Structure 1
Amino acid sequence: MMSLRTLARSAPRALSRASSAFTRSQVAGRTIQSTRTSAFLRPQQASAFSTTVFRRTAAADIEEELSAKLASEIQFEEEVKATQDQPASIKDYLENGPFQIKDVPGKEDVVLTRTYGSEKITVTFSIADLQNMEQDVFDEDAALGDEEAEGKEAEQDGAEGEEDLAEEPSVPCRLNVVVEKPGKGALAVEAVAQDGAIVVENLYYYQDAKLAHAATADASHASQDVYPGPPFGSLDEDLQILMERYLEERGITTALAVFVPDYMDMKEQKEYLAWLNNVKSFVDTAA
């Protein structure tokens, strides 16, 4: 299910964006009118000095207003953060899970690594999935702008209540899993973690393990020339089951499927709050 934090944030943002769009249209109208008036009176102006002062004052007002809005958003995010405890799934997994986590502040990707015998296993996921999900929700809400659609939606919400929210699917989190063996290349698995389950979508084999990570443009280009194999869903059913068990033994389990969406949501909130503070610091710094 989409987290309460995501729902709490998406609603005020949607309202704010809608309000901003209306405000921009009003401002645009005033700007056009103001421009025409200024053009009409321009021959009577003695100098441009007063106009320059006005522009500087207006710019200062805009910066002050922007800073205040950023401060308000920061306060909102801090309040949301203070009212929500860290999910137990995150604490339990970090303490008892088999993977070591690499989470660099300011980066979208999170990397989990572990060894299994002589194998090196890497799992990568990104908070971009959550951001895309929030954008999709906003786009869908914006498309229901007429009163009839809003009335039907309100009626359905009233009838279904909280039970409907409980059944709403969680954010699908894409996982890139790489299993490497020394001198034997690597298996690369594309999977999705959602609703406590991991669904394998594609399975690749690379003789050169570097191609499985495709960390550079050259490696990414070279990996495209490798035969990708058939879609995982088209494989023999027993083969699919055995491959899933193979991955489970290496830590690609239900516990991981529960941990990733919760951690991704927490990280996205931290990154957004840090971004707000960085932007406010930039705006508040004197030129």
Structure 2
Amino acid sequence: MMSLRTIARSAPRALARASTTSTVSRCQRTSLLSARPSSFLRTQQVSAFSTSLFRRAMAGEVDEEVSAKLASEIEFESDVKQNEPVPASIKDFMENSPFKVQDVLGREDVVLTRTFGDEKITVTFSIADLHNYEPDMMEDQAMEDELEDIEAGRNPQDQRGGAADLAQEANEDLEAGADEAAVPCRLNIVIEKPNKGALNIEALAQDGAVVVENLYYYTDSKLAHSTDANAVHAAQDTYPGPPFGSLDEDLQMLMERYLEERGITQALAVFAPDYMDHKEQKEYMAWLKNVKSFIDA
């Protein structure tokens, strides 16, 4: 699910955009017509091949309207940013975490790095998760099926005041689940030791917890980082190990404690999704300004 800010970005502007477009274009046309005396129009007819007119024709007829629309969008995003302070989770993590945050404007990935003894630890996540997220509809479908059963009177264990109350409660649970669902943030964690290879952990940061999905070991630490085709192919050929969830429960718990000691904690699980959303807003604003600068050039 997209963030409330993202929803707010698009929802309230449907009418505003339409009115702004018509107002801008109407005002521009009116100002242009009113600013041209008849003598100027006659001169224009005579000087049909003037340089200024040629430039104006080559510039395109909608450039000014596109630029005005982008300016309106930038103003809207600026207002949203002013009314939405940086989350406390981001401030606390940046001030107190041992990780160094590497965030390059224009790139989707955010990289966290730190050392732990002789280990180098890298955590990477991407704002692409916001755009690629497809919510799991299994739970929603199950809740909808339950609601249909209740409404049809197929629930024999009615102990709370009738089918109508159950139906209302189930419907409220369904709506609450939709509102509270958060976009999970995928974490790629690499722990390296000199001349000992690397552990590569794939995990999710969601609902304030880090959930480990896969755990790999590479004798060559480069295989855990490199995007080179040969390295990717070599990594794919490496035995991946069993799914983390199939490991002995005690081993799973110990590995989770192992990660916590290295800073993969609840604070990181809260920080990563919040920072992902914060960065997306920052990147979108920069994108708007770059496009406007290009149109105006």
- Which range, TM-score by smaller chain? 0.7 to 0.9
Alignment of 1:73-112 (within 5 A): 73-112=73-112
Structure 2 counterparts to residues 153-192 of structure 1, below 5 A: 160=172, 164=176, 167-192=179-204
The answer as to whether partners of 1:214 and 1:223 remain within 8 angstroms in 2 is no
Percent identity of equivalent pairs = 70
Correspondence for 1:223: 235
Please state whether the residue corresponding to 1:175 is helix, strand or coil: strand
Shift of 1:219: 1.6
Query: Is the Cα contact below 8 Å between 2:120 and 2:193 reproduced in 1?
Result: yes
Give distance in 1, aligned partners of 2:202 and 2:62: 46
Q: Say if 2:198 and 2:218, in contact at 8 Å, map to a contact too.
A: yes
Write out aligned runs for 1:131-150 (5 A): 131-133=131-133
Letter in 2 for 1:92: D
**Which shifted more, 167-176 or 177-186?**
167-176
Please name the residue that 1:27 is paired with. none
Contact 2:2 2:130 in 1 (8 A): no
Secondary structure of 1:68's aligned partner: helix
Residue correspondences, number: 229
Q: TM-score, normalised by structure 2?
A: 0.70
Partner Cα separation in structure 2 for residue 205 and residue 253 of structure 1: 21
Unmatched runs of 5 consecutive residues or more in structure 2? 19-47, 136-167
Distance 2:132 2:177 in 1: 20
Q: Provide the residue aligned with 2:259 in structure 1.
A: 247
The answer to whether the 8 A contact 2:222-2:231 is kept is yes
What CA distance in whole angstroms lies between the structure 2 residues aligned with 1:12 and 1:186? 48
**CA distance in 2: counterparts of 1:211 and 1:220, whole angstroms:** 7
Range moving further from structure 2, 200-209 or 123-132: 123-132
- Partner residue of 1:209 out of 207, 216, 221: 221
> Match of 1:7, as an amino acid?
I
1:128 deviation in Å? 0.6
Deviating beyond 2 angstroms after TM superposition, the runs of 4 or more aligned structure 1 residues are: 1-4, 10-13, 56-61, 163-167, 214-218
Provide the rounded CA distance (Å) in 2 between the counterparts of 1:69 and 1:229: 53
Equivalent pair of 1:2/1:169 in contact (CA under 8 Å): no
After TM superposition, the score normalised by the length of structure 1 is 0.72
Pick one of 254, 278, 289 that aligns with 1:266: 278
Cα separation, partners in 2 of 1:92 and 1:66, compared to 1, 3 Å: same
Q: Report the residue type matching 1:177 in the other structure.
A: I
AA partner of residue 251 (structure 2): L
For residues 99 and 2 of structure 1, what CA distance do their matches in structure 2 show?
Answer: 27
Distance in 1 (alpha carbons) for counterparts of 2:250 and 2:128: 34
Q: Which residue of the partner structure matches residue 127 of structure 2? A: 127
Q: Secondary structure of 2:60's partner?
A: helix
Q: Which residue of 1 aligns with 2:144?
A: none
- SS at 1:238 equivalent: helix
Alpha-carbon separation, structure 1, partners of 2:127 and 2:192: 25
Q: 2:296 aligns with which of 268, 274, 284?
A: 284
Within the candidate set 191, 198, 210, 1:198 is matched to: 210
Deviation readout 1:72-115 (Å, 9 max, x if unpaired): 11111111001111111111110101101111111100000011
Residue in 2 that maps onto 1:117: 117
Q: CA RMSD in A?
A: 2.9
What one-letter code is carried by the residue in structure 1 that aligns with 2:182? S
Kindly provide the amino acid, as one letter, of the partner of residue 63 in structure 1.
D
Q: Distance in 1 between matches of 2:9 and 2:100?
A: 30
Distance change (3 Å), C-alpha of 1:197 and 1:67? same
String of CA shifts for 1:230-266, please: whole Å, max 9, x gaps: 1111111111111111111111110000001111111
The equivalent of 2:161 in structure 1 is: none
SS of the residue corresponding to residue 66 of structure 1 reads helix
Deviation at 1:62, TM superposition (A): 1.4
Aligned equivalents of 2:195, 2:249: Cα separation in 1? 30
Aligned mates of 1:241, 1:11 — CA distance in 2: 44
Please give the alpha-carbon distance, in whole angstroms, between the structure 2 residues aligned to 1:241 and 1:168. 27
State the 1:165 CA deviation: 7.3
CA distance in 2, matches of 1:173, 1:265: 10
Which residue does the alignment assign to 1:68?
68
Amino acid at match of 1:77: E
- Residues 1:257 and 2:269 aligned together: yes
State the alpha-carbon separation in 2 of the partners of residues 78 and 181 from structure 1.
Answer: 44
